[in-house]
Amino acid sequence: MLQRLRRYNKSPKICPHCGEQILTHANYCGICGSFIAPSNSERTPASSIELQPAGFWIRFLARLIDELFVTLLFGFLISIIGMNDISAFILIILNFSYFAIMTKTRGQTLGKMALGIQVVDSDGHIPQLGTVLVREIPCKILSALPLYLGYAWTGWDTNKRAWHDHLAKTFVIKKPRTPDI
């Protein structure tokens, strides 16, 4: 990893909290999750907006919107194809696919779009496919298993990260609005 950092960045930044090397354009430390403010020499007018983490309640409401959408879609599909073991398996695959595809293509599901929040990696970009798949399938299952404690963790975490965000090294932020020109 250090070789990759050196290849893209001749003088990498150091996280003030954990001491890890960080890409110049990174907004968050990929190891400890701390926000890294860009130095004045790196700031441009477009990137001077600081990213704010999305809190528990806004994420909860976005999830409710997504679940409502998925439930309506599933109800429609069940009314057409009926319910059996194969259709139940297909619905589970569609559920994971919805969250994975939307997060990979836009960094947002419909609920997140409605509320102006977005999933990003430690560089502030939409996560790669592998990261999204890890976050959406095994990590979210781990967050849900102990009575959804991994989701509730967002309320206590300083950077508002759930367990699946920590495990996949992702962040949910309030999406910066582009200024009107």
User: Please, which pLDDT band fits residue 178 given cuts at 50, 70 and 90?
Assistant: low
Instruction: Give every CB contact of residue 110 below 8 A, 6+ residues apart in sequence.
Output: 65, 66, 69, 102
| 27 neighbors 125 (Cβ within 8 angstroms) | no
| 124 neighbors 26 (Cβ within 8 angstroms) | yes
HSE-up (13 A, CA, CB side) for residue 176? 14
Nearest-CA neighbor of 24 among 34, 12, 33?
12
* DSSP-assigned letters across all residues of 72-113: HHHHHHHHHH--SHHHHHHHHHHHHHHHHHHHHHHS--HHHH
| 151 neighbors 162 (Cβ within 8 angstroms) | yes
Whether pTM > 0.85 for this model: the answer is: no
**Which residues lie across from 170 on neighbouring strands?**
121
Instruction: Give every CB contact of residue 122 below 8 A, 6+ residues apart in sequence.
Output: 22, 26, 27, 28, 29, 30, 169, 170, 171
pLDDT in tens, 127-165: 999 999 999 999 999 999 989 999 999 999 999 999 999
- Domain boundaries in the chain? 1-39, 52-174
pLDDT in tens, 95-123: 999 999 999 999 999 999 999 999 999 88
